[in-house]
Amino acid sequence: MRNPYDIIIKPIITEESMEDMAYKKYTFKVDKRANKSEIKKAIEKIFDVKVESVNTMNILGKEKRMGVNVGRRPSWKKAIVTLTEDSKEIEFFEGM
């Protein structure tokens, strides 16, 4: 298994993701090659919580222009992690 810190890149903090925290749902940017079971093990190891389910989605990078030049931002993967009812909350998000 790869290092859990290489799988979980960063948390995603938006208005919608903060509302989901009441239902014990947390959103993370993850490695594009990671699958659901790797993400689940990484979250459980890093934050010492119990994960109920993991939903993932691939986000296509936006096309951007600067004059006549056209480029594309990189594509990435997003994971929405749902914790079990008896699990503690992730301390990283508590003060927000």
- What is the per-residue pLDDT across 21-79, written as a single tens digit (0 to 9) for each? 889 999 999 999 999 999 999 999 999 999 999 999 999 999 999 999 999 999 999 99
Question: Is residue 77 assigned to a domain?
Answer: yes
Of residues 81 and 22, the one with the higher pLDDT is 81
Give helix then strand counts, H and E, for the chain.
3, 6
Consecutive H or E run containing 4? helix 4-7
The bridge status of strand 25-30 relative to strand 76-83 is: antiparallel
CATH number at residue 14: 3.30.70.330
The residue range of the domain holding 78 is 4-85
Q: Which pTM does this prediction carry? A: 0.88
Domain total in the chain: 1
Sign of the CA dihedral 42, 45, 49, 52? positive
Question: Is residue 90 assigned to a domain?
Answer: no
Q: Examine the pLDDT at 95 and tell me if it is beyond 70.
A: no
Question: Is residue 35 assigned to a domain?
Answer: yes
Q: Examine the pLDDT at 18 and tell me if it is beyond 70.
A: yes
Question: Is residue 91 assigned to a domain?
Answer: no
